Amino acid sequence: MLDIEPDLSTSLFSHIDFTSGAVAAVSGGSDSTALLLLLKHHLDRTAPATKLLAVTIDHGLRSGSAAEAQAVAKLCATHGIPHRIVTWSGPKPSTGLPAAAREERYRLLAEAAQAQGFGLILTGHTADDQAETVLMRQGREEGLARNEGRGLVELSGRGLAGMAPATLYDWRSWIVRPLLGMRRAALRDVLRRQNVGWADDPTNADEAFERPRMRAALADGDGARRIDDALALAAHESRARGQLGLGAASLIGDFATQPACGLTRLDPGLLSAGDERATIYALRILLATAGGIAFLPDQARSEALFGRLKAGFLCATLSRTVVDFRRAGIFLRREARGLPAAAAATDSTVWDGRRRITLNDSSGALLIAPFGTAAKRLAIGEGKTPPSLMRAALAAEPALWQAGECLGLPGHGTTSAMVEVRPVVAPFARFLPSFDLAPARVVAGLIGAAPVPPLPFSGHSAG
Ligand SMILES: Nc1ncnc2c1ncn2[C@@H]1O[C@H](COP(=O)(O)OP(=O)(O)OP(=O)(O)O)[C@@H](O)[C@H]1O
């Protein structure tokens, strides 16, 4: 057994629920190697039956990467930890390589976890990574504010919360970052005391990339103070973001309904219900959801829209969403422009960023295309919601077509056996940071998306 202070591993891991097994993402660098050994130490003492798999992604981008993956395999064998190497075999983009590698890494890690039936992935992100992330985002936001002539006080601050302690990936695997509160130097000390080596990725020192430049800038002068300030800022902003999310969630719960698939109605009382920042945040989340966009609409435009809504009736478009304020209420729906063209129905895809398609009939003859003008033939009874709006919303829903004939909307009549269509909460469908859990849950309930899987922390549930 490793000679590690029990208090350290207890404080890092005892709040995490490991009952469904865990993947440890181990690159072979110091941080994730320390993560693996500290975790193994904790599980051996407290829950030795826990299913643990270490996974190394070989991106195949450097000549040494295969050997580094093998070194992790050897370390795992020494400590009796099951290990898998997964190779990124697809084509590599010529620009934006770090971002593409990161996307692919998460996809492959989630796939490995899913294959084992594990809902949890642990990464070795540290306090140093957190400080770098916050300072890089702050630098970008300040640049943006200067370019647009805005004062710094207007910075949205959302990104300054940094990385969340847990992020739900693809609405199914929790990525947990237990080392976010620890400095890299302390982790390296742990490894040195155990006589365990690690690989130094030369990319981390390549100042052609933004993160290594920031890392180098923090290595000297007043780096220590800047890191402490960035961590304090992240802690403050993450609390603020959680609070803002709670406010938005409660407004959505009180004022939003869904009269038809793809149509959200907001009670106009929302506009004067209280905290304007929370109202605008709620609007941004609902707009991105209705439009099927992964990013929230711009803060300044959303504020302008809010101001116009307060002034009275309007019809406007933002984030691919038509906002229609009339006597019957404020209605949001996907605009008719730019909907996906007809295409063969494929399993496990997200259509238009809004609808997850599960194919039960793989005969291959089915097409998915917007319901379009076929919605005009639907009989819709007169109610509180104008039928024209319901038809317009349904026209932007995915319908099934076969041999040129519209079979109707999935979930109705004969089509339900062939295909299932489930709404997704677009802005959080790929990455849901735990800061945003409250609005994600309430929007999922509103639009009929799958519920958020429970947070893997003891004492928490997704309710
Ligand atoms: N190739 C990889 N295989 C598996 N996990 C990885 C890989 N690269 C990164 N990770 C995970 O993501 C975390 C953060 O990535 P980052 O690029 O900051 O790490 P690194 O500098 O390559 O390695 P380390 O964090 O181990 O020092 C790592 O701690 C690790 O958990």
Q: Is the CB of 25 under 6 A from ligand 1?
A: yes
Q: Residue 448, SS3?
A: coil
Q: Is the CB of 132 under 6 A from ligand 1?
A: no
ipTM of the complex: 0.94
Fold for the domain defined by 6-125+163-220:
Rossmann fold (3.40.50)
For position 141, what pLDDT does the model report?
Answer: 79
Measured by CA distance, the residue closest to atom 5 of ligand 1 is 25
For the chain, first and last CA: distance in Å? 38
Contact 191, 185 (CB under 8 A): no
CA-closest candidate to residue 321, choices 357, 356, 285, 349? 285
- To the question of whether residue 30 is assigned a binding role by annotation, the answer is yes
Task: Provide the CB-side half-sphere exposure for 66 (13 A, CA).
Answer: 4
The pair phi, psi for residue 148, each rounded to 5°, is -90, 5
Q: Is the CB of 26 under 6 A from ligand 1?
A: yes
E-assigned strands of 319-447?
321-326, 329-334, 343-344, 349-351, 355-359, 367-370, 398-402, 405-408, 419-423, 431-433
The partner residues of 359 in beta bridges, in order of sequence, read: 419
Burial of 433 (0-12, 13-18, 19+ CB in 10 A): buried
pTM over 0.90: yes
For position 284, what pLDDT does the model report?
Answer: 98
CB within 8 Å of 92: residues ≥ 6 apart: 60, 61, 100
Digitized pLDDT (tens) for each residue of the chain, 463 residues in all: 566 777 899 999 999 999 999 999 999 999 999 999 999 999 999 999 999 999 999 998 888 899 999 999 999 999 999 999 999 988 889 888 888 999 999 999 999 999 999 999 999 999 999 999 999 998 887 777 676 655 443 445 678 999 999 999 999 999 999 999 999 999 999 999 999 999 988 878 788 888 889 888 888 878 889 999 999 999 999 999 999 999 999 999 999 999 999 999 999 999 999 899 999 999 999 999 999 999 999 999 999 999 999 999 999 999 999 999 999 999 999 999 999 999 988 888 999 999 999 888 766 678 899 998 887 777 777 778 999 999 999 999 999 888 878 887 876 666 667 788 999 999 999 999 999 999 999 999 999 999 999 999 986 544 3
E-assigned strands of 256-348?
256-260, 263-266, 314-318, 321-326, 329-334, 343-344
Q: Is the CB of 353 under 6 A from ligand 1?
A: no
Q: Is the CB of 29 under 6 A from ligand 1?
A: yes
- To the question of whether residue 31 is assigned a binding role by annotation, the answer is yes
E-assigned strands of 1-82?
22-25, 52-58
Task: Provide the CB-side half-sphere exposure for 276 (13 A, CA).
Answer: 9
CA 381 to ligand 1 center in whole angstroms: 56
For position 377, what pLDDT does the model report?
Answer: 77
Q: Could you tell which of 30, 32, 130, 209 is best to mutate to test the pocket of ligand 1, judged by most ligand atoms within 8 Å of the CB?
A: 32
Q: Two tokens at 177? A: 């970052």
